[in-house]
Amino acid sequence: MASTIVSDQGQITIPQEIRDYLKLNAGTKIEFVIDEEGEVKIIPLKFSVEELSGILHYPGIEKATIEDME
């Protein structure tokens, strides 16, 4: 089991074995989630919503309404 110490500023260093397992690199965004049992999970965010915004937009194609999609 890996462990770490919280600094005076509330920062931690994620142990190398955990970084390797989660494929975390410098600059990787992570999310902390508390589950129903009160356990904290670390989830690497591959892409932010901002990064994905507009990814499917193609110039010249009109936007579809909900009615169009039905």
48 contacts: CB under 8 Å, gap ≥ 6: 29
Is residue 24 one of the residues assigned to a domain?
yes
Is residue 64 one of the residues assigned to a domain?
yes
Is residue 50 one of the residues assigned to a domain?
yes
What are 61's two structure tokens?
Answer: 């194609």
- Domain count for the chain, please give it: 1
pTM of the model: 0.58
Is residue 26 one of the residues assigned to a domain?
yes
Q: Domain range for residue 63?
A: 16-69
Q: Which of 17, 7, 49 is nearest to 31 (CA)?
A: 49
- What is the DSSP annotation of the chain? -------TTS-----HHHHHHHT--TT-EEEEEE-TTS-EEEEEESS-HHHHTTTT--TTPPPPPHHHH-
Is residue 36 one of the residues assigned to a domain?
yes
- The tens digit of pLDDT for each residue in 31-64 reads 999 999 999 999 888 766 666 666 666 677 777 7
Is residue 2 one of the residues assigned to a domain?
no
Is residue 31 one of the residues assigned to a domain?
yes
CATH of the domain at 62: 2.10.260
